[in-house]
């Protein structure tokens, strides 16, 4: 079935870059927007600080200036128009002319909630670009290796509107990992993920080692966030995983392969193995990073005092984690901070600072409570923020986490003492 024979398709492209780059990205989609009876509409979501609405040919440009997150931008784009399907494509991907019709070349069963399209390498002559193409780093099978269970990358992903809305869209306020999280929630709702490799795009791979490191460090940050998020949700999905150990092992094996490949005359494979090691080390380093957006505008509205809120620190309400189903846009613009976004490195630094203070003051029981609460020292960073805040209040006095924070820091005021 062709898309122009009934199915309405909204194409959403999150974008962050210059106006010249925006025009180039929009131009790549001009032929798609001119096709058929205009049942295909294209939205390019400008995720810059100074984003403005506009249009470039058939492509509508909408602003998403709240924070630098492609998942937030995708949610903004998905809300701009009614459609039966939403095709999410990255800005660094160039579509094949018949991409939409290829997706609907064969009927899609009603239980299919998403369809993974093909991703082919674009032109690139640098060593890093050739390496990325050879390793097929955005191939759906490669992305799915993150954890058991199918997952889909949003570089080229068709999603049924009903499935998207039932799952609540993407988690906002994050840099990476949102597509994996969305895929898992989609399937747990009973939807299936199918493949249609003939509906393809060409991906422009990174050209420098520096950009490759940034890419894999971001992937690692997404993995670390997924670990923390699903621990907060008391899910066993990541039980027993050791990303630092596993990533280090991959790096060492890659260096070994790089050393032996020249003995077989495989010089290209040797260089690729070195880049494998670089990517593995960058990924491990990224797992210790936070997963917060590149930038965030000042919150416009006070945060709600319910839905898991625990403490308020300098006007920002702190919550242990996002709800399982995020409900796109529901808390947008609120002054919220999620503990699941605190990176492991941030948690350990905070634990060292707060723990040293407690040890020096011989307060062993609060330190034991701090280390023992929850999983992966999630209270360390909040405790440090409370200690360094101008003012901090308990929001939910019945929360066990609030009780531990109160034992750790005398600065945390009881809500009955607050004027609010």
User: Alpha helices, DSSP H only, in 267-343?
Assistant: 267-287
In a shared domain, residues 197 and 242? no
In a shared domain, residues 54 and 182? yes
**Could you read off the pLDDT of 176-220 as tens digits, one per residue?**
999 999 999 999 999 999 999 999 999 999 999 999 999 999 999
**Could you read off the pLDDT of 240-271 as tens digits, one per residue?**
678 888 899 999 999 999 999 998 999 999 99
Confidence (pLDDT) at 307: 63
Say how many domains are in the chain.
3
Q: Which of 219, 204, 240 is CA-nearest to residue 291?
A: 219
Q: Residues 5, 101: contact at Cβ < 8 Å?
A: no
Tokens describing residue 270: 């040797």
In a shared domain, residues 54 and 100? yes
Range name among 95-99, 121-125, 224-228 with the lowest pLDDT average: 121-125
The boundaries of the domain holding residue 13 are 3-123+132-204
Q: Which residues pair with 193 in a beta bridge?
A: 114
Confidence (pLDDT) at 277: 96
**Could you read off the pLDDT of 120-155 as tens digits, one per residue?**
998 888 999 999 999 988 875 544 433 445 688 999
Confidence (pLDDT) at 376: 67
Q: Residues 297, 50: contact at Cβ < 8 Å?
A: no
Q: How far apart are CA 105 and CA 198, in angstroms?
A: 9
Tokens describing residue 388: 């360094």
- Of residues 82 and 160, the one with the higher pLDDT is 160
Confidence (pLDDT) at 301: 65
In a shared domain, residues 262 and 391? no
* Residue 311 vs residues 317, 380, 406: alpha-carbon distances, Å: 6, 14, 10
Q: How confident is the model at residue 415 (pLDDT cuts 50, 70, 90)?
A: low
At 133, which helix (H) or strand (E)? helix 127-135
> At residue 2, does pLDDT exceed 50?
no
Q: How far apart are CA 221 and CA 283, in angstroms?
A: 8
> At residue 173, does pLDDT exceed 60?
yes
> Is 294 within a domain?
no
In a shared domain, residues 251 and 192? no
Mean pLDDT, rounded, for 234-245: 79
In a shared domain, residues 261 and 401? no
Q: How far apart are CA 340 and CA 329, in angstroms?
A: 19
Domain boundary among 152, 174, 204: 204
Domain boundary among 204, 234, 256: 204
> Is 388 within a domain?
yes
Percent of residues in the chain assigned helix, strand, coil, to nearest 5:
45, 20, 40
**Structure-token match 């990533």, residue found:** 247
Q: Residues 117, 85: contact at Cβ < 8 Å?
A: no
> Is 297 within a domain?
no
**Could you read off the pLDDT of 374-413 as tens digits, one per residue?**
666 889 999 999 999 989 988 887 788 888 888 888 878 7
Q: Residues 118, 109: contact at Cβ < 8 Å?
A: no
> Is 317 within a domain?
yes
In a shared domain, residues 346 and 283? no
In a shared domain, residues 258 and 188? no
> Is 219 within a domain?
no
Which are the contacts of 344, defined by CB distance < 8 A and separation ≥ 6? 224, 287, 288, 376
* Residue 258 vs residues 69, 167, 374: alpha-carbon distances, Å: 36, 44, 41
Q: How far apart are CA 155 and CA 334, in angstroms?
A: 28
Q: How confident is the model at residue 366 (pLDDT cuts 50, 70, 90)?
A: confident
> At residue 306, does pLDDT exceed 70?
no
Q: How far apart are CA 156 and CA 199, in angstroms?
A: 9
Q: What strands lie across the sheet with 309-313, from one edge to the other?
A: 336-338, 316-319, 309-313, 392-394, 412-413
DSSP 1: -
> Residue 277, SS3?
helix
At 370, which helix (H) or strand (E)? helix 364-372
Q: Residues 139, 172: contact at Cβ < 8 Å?
A: no
> Is 296 within a domain?
no
Share of the chain above pLDDT 90, in %: 57
In a shared domain, residues 243 and 314? no
In a shared domain, residues 77 and 158? yes
> Is 277 within a domain?
yes
Confidence (pLDDT) at 362: 86
At 88, which helix (H) or strand (E)? strand 85-89
In a shared domain, residues 283 and 198? no
From start to end of 301-340, where are the E strands? Answer: 309-313, 316-319, 336-338
> At residue 37, does pLDDT exceed 50?
no
Q: Residues 22, 73: contact at Cβ < 8 Å?
A: no
Q: What strands lie across the sheet with 192-203, from one edge to the other?
A: 54-56, 59-63, 40-46, 9-15, 85-89, 156-160, 112-121, 192-203, 93-95
Dihedral sign for Cα atoms in the order 26, 28, 33, 34? positive
**Could you read off the pLDDT of 320-348 as tens digits, one per residue?**
888 888 887 777 878 889 999 999 999 99
> At residue 303, does pLDDT exceed 70?
no
In a shared domain, residues 230 and 187? no
> Is 298 within a domain?
no
């Amino acid at each position: 079935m062709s898309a122009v024979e009934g199915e309405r398709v909204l194409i959403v492209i999150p974008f962050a870059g210059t106006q010249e780059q925006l025009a180039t990205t929009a131009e790549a989609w001009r032929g798609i927007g001119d096709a058929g009876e205009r049942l295909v509409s294209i939205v390019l979501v400008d995720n810059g600080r100074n984003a403005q609405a506009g249009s470039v040919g058939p492509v509508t440009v909408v602003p998403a200036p709240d924070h630098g997150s492609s998942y937030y931008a995708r949610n903004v784009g998905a809300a701009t128009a009614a459609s039966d399907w939403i095709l999410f494509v990255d800005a660094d991907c160039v579509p094949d002319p018949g991409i939409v019709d290829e997706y609907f070349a064969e009927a899609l069963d009603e239980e299919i909630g998403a369809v993974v399209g093909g991703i082919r390498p674009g032109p690139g002559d640098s060593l890093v670009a050739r390496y990325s193409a050879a390793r097929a780093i955005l191939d759906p099978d490669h992305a799915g290796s993150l954890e058991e269970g199918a997952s889909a990358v949003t570089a080229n992903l068709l999603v049924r509107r009903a499935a998207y809305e039932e799952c609540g869209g993407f988690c906002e306020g994050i840099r990476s990992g949102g597509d994996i999280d969305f895929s898992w929630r989609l399937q747990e709702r009973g939807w299936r993920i199918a493949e249609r490799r003939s509906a393809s795009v060409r991906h422009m791979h990174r050209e420098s080692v520096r950009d490759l490191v940034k890419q894999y460090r971001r992937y690692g940050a997404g993995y670390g966030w997924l670990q923390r998020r699903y621990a907060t949700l008391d899910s066993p999905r990541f039980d027993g995983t050791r990303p630092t150990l596993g990533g280090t092992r991959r790096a060492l094996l890659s260096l070994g392969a790089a050393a032996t490949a020249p003995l077989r005359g495989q010089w290209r494979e040797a260089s690729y193995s070195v880049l494998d090691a670089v990517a593995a080390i960058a990924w491990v380093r990224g797992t210790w990073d936070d997963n917060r957006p590149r930038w965030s505008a000042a919150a416009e509205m006070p945060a709600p005092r319910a839905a898991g809120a625990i403490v308020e620190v300098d006007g920002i309400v702190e919550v242990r984690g996002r709800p399982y189903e995020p409900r796109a846009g529901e808390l947008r613009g609120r002054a919220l901070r999620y503990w699941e976004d605190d990176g492991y490195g941030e948690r350990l630094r905070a634990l060292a600072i707060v723990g040293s203070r407690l040890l020096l003051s011989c307060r062993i029981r609060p330190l034991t409570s701090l280390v023992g609460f929850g999983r992966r020292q999630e209270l360390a960073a909040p405790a440090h923020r409370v200690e360094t805040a101008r003012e901090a209040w308990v929001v939910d006095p019945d929360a066990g986490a609030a009780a531990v924070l109160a034992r750790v820091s005398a600065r945390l005021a009881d809500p009955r003492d607050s004027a609010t």
